[in-house]
């Protein structure tokens, strides 16, 4: 997870808290990862793990109040986004870094035509006329598989899958270097999911865009990602290449995730859900945050900091069992 000159994004010890009344909700707790130019990284985990908050942190869109980035750095092309002013971030958002939000129905403005919404992003970052921006918007619609002539229609006149394509067109309208996709296929049926994933992958290759994909679906990750980070209770517990995570699954939580999904290559009578619930982010336990649900937990796991161990080149596991094996 160390940085180098080829990385377009380096997230280092990112910590984000929400301050609600007298309670501190520790949503993200020291997350670190790197993303190279043109690479795809998937962040996988249960609902409430901190994946979306991490993406909002990168965009500097964590609602304040009650949320705030309280630690770490976000190096984009070598510059720390945490030190940028809001005016500087507005120039970056939608232009160099874009985000596909989870629900297209809430991401789109219902009282503006889809063409105007795409053109607005283009006009904001490029010195062109409204007519030229609208023509570019029509080109983007064609690129995502929608007839450009429909640019004068409103979001409610499109299906869920078409709305998601429009959201993708908005996100890619200015050819961003980095695309954050937050559960881009969750609200879609299976056949439309496949089309949207193929579209994202095709456009990513066409523009040379780096992709940070946020999802709970391991199947989606296998289809589009080069690297994977398994997120639990605000931190990455396992990180590596697709090969590492899928063929050399190591952390007990990652093993539990794979054990809870159907496998058509094996005869399984009953799936194995992970027992228990994720800890309350307002009251995180000492030691390993997964210890209460872990079948391999020892007393030592419940106290002190848990080291992040590199068990193979580029394959990291945050688990005391692996730390003990290396001693």
Same domain, 182 and 85: yes
Question: How long a stretch of residues is the chain?
Answer: 327
Model confidence at 8, pLDDT cuts 50, 70, 90, reads very high
Same domain, 119 and 224: no
Domain boundary among 175, 204, 222: 175
pLDDT, residue 266, reads 65
At 197, the pLDDT band (50, 70, 90 cuts) reads confident
Residues 55-68: pLDDT tens digits? Answer: 999 999 999 999 99
**pLDDT at 275 (0 to 100):** 87
Comparing 145 with 316, the larger pLDDT belongs to 316
Please report how many Cα atoms fall inside a 13 Å half-sphere around the Cα of residue 44, on the Cβ side: 28
Q: Which of 144, 175, 206 is the last residue in one of the domains?
A: 175
**Mean pLDDT confidence for 38-55:** 95
Residue 310 CA to residue 307 CA, distance in Å, equals 10
CA gap 168, 180 in Å, rounded: 11
Give the span between the Cα atoms of 64 and 312, in whole angstroms.
39
- Is 151 in the same domain as 228? no
Query: Residue 60 in contact with residue 97, Cβ under 8 Å?
Result: no
The position carrying tokens 């058509």 is 264
Contacts by residues 304-309 (CB-CB < 8 Å, ≥ 24 positions apart): 308/1
Question: What band does 306 get if pLDDT is binned at 50, 70 and 90?
Answer: very high
Residue 1 has pLDDT above 80, yes or no: no
Same domain, 111 and 238: no
Instruction: Tell me, yes or no, whether 242 and 257 share the same domain.
Output: yes
In a domain, 321, yes or no: no
Residues 163, 35, single domain; the answer is no
In percent, the amount of the chain with pLDDT more than 90 equals: 73
Q: Does residue 322 lie in a domain region?
A: no
> Do 186 and 266 fall within a single domain?
yes
Residue 3 has pLDDT above 70, yes or no: no
Q: What is the average pLDDT score of the chain?
A: 91
Q: Model confidence over 20-29: pLDDT tens digits?
A: 999 999 999 9
Mean pLDDT of 41-54: 95
92 with 191, same domain: the answer is yes
Q: What is the 3-state secondary structure (H, E, C) of 174-210?
A: CCCCEEEEECCCCCCCHHHHHHHHHHHHHHHHHHCCE
Give the domain-ending residue among 136, 160, 175: 175
* Range of the structural domain that residue 205 is part of: 7-96+178-272
pLDDT tens digits for 115-134?
A: 999 999 999 998 899 999 99
Domain count for the chain, please give it.
Answer: 2
Residues 197 and 59 grouped into a single domain: yes
pLDDT at 5: 66
Per-residue pLDDT band at 265 (split at 50, 70, 90)? low
Tokens of 153: 């229609």
In a domain, 45, yes or no: yes
Same domain? 186 vs 236: yes
State the pLDDT confidence band at 323, using cuts at 50, 70 and 90: confident
Specify if 308 maps to a domain: no
Say yes or no to pLDDT of 264 above 80. Answer: no
Same-domain pairing of 160 and 185: no
pLDDT value for 309: 94
pLDDT in tens, 72-95: 999 999 999 999 999 999 999 999
CATH number (domain holding residue 43):
3.40.50.300
User: pLDDT (tens digit, 9 = 90+) per residue, 210-224?
Assistant: 999 999 989 889 989
Decide: residue 323, CB within 10 A, 0-12 exposed, 13-18 middle, 19+ buried: middle
């Amino acid at each position: 997870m160390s940085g180098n000159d080829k990385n377009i994004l380096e997230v280092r010890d990112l910590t984000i808290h929400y301050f609600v009344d007298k309670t501190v909700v520790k949503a993200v707790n020291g997350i670190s990862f790197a993303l190279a130019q043109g690479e795809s990284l998937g962040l996988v985990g249960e609902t409430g793990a901190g994946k979306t908050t991490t993406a909002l942190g990168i965009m500097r869109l964590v609602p304040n109040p009650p949320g705030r980035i309280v630690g770490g750095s976000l190096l984009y092309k070598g510059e720390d986004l945490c030190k940028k002013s809001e005016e500087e971030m507005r120039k970056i958002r939608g232009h160099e870094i874009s985000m596909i939000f989870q629900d297209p129905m809430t991401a789109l403005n219902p009282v503006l035509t889809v063409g105007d919404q795409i053109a607005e992003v283009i006009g904001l970052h490029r010195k062109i006329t409204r007519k030229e921006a609208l023509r570019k918007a029509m080109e983007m619609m064609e690129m995502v598989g929608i007839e450009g002539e429909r640019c004068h229609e409103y979001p409610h006149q499109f299906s869920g899958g078409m709305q998601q394509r429009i959201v993708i067109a908005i996100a890619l309208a200015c050819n961003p270097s980095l695309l954050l996709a937050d559960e881009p296929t969750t609200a879609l049926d299976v056949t439309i999911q496949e089309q949207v994933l193929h579209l994202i992958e095709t456009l990513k290759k066409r523009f040379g865009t780096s992709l940070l994909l946020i999802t709970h679906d391991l199947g989606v990750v296998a289809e589009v990602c080069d690297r994977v980070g398994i997120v639990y209770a605000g931190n990455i517990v396992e990180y590596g290449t697709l090969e590492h995570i899928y063929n050399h699954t190591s952390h007990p939580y990652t093993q539990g995730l794979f054990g809870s999904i159907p496998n058509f290559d094996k005869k399984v009578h009953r799936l194995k859900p992970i027992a228990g619930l994720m800890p309350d982010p307002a009251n995180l336990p000492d030691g390993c945050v997964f210890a209460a649900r872990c079948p391999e937990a020892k007393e030592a796991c419940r106290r002190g900091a848990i080291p992040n161990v590199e068990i193979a080149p580029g394959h990291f596991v945050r688990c005391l069992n692996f730390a003990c094996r290396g001693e």
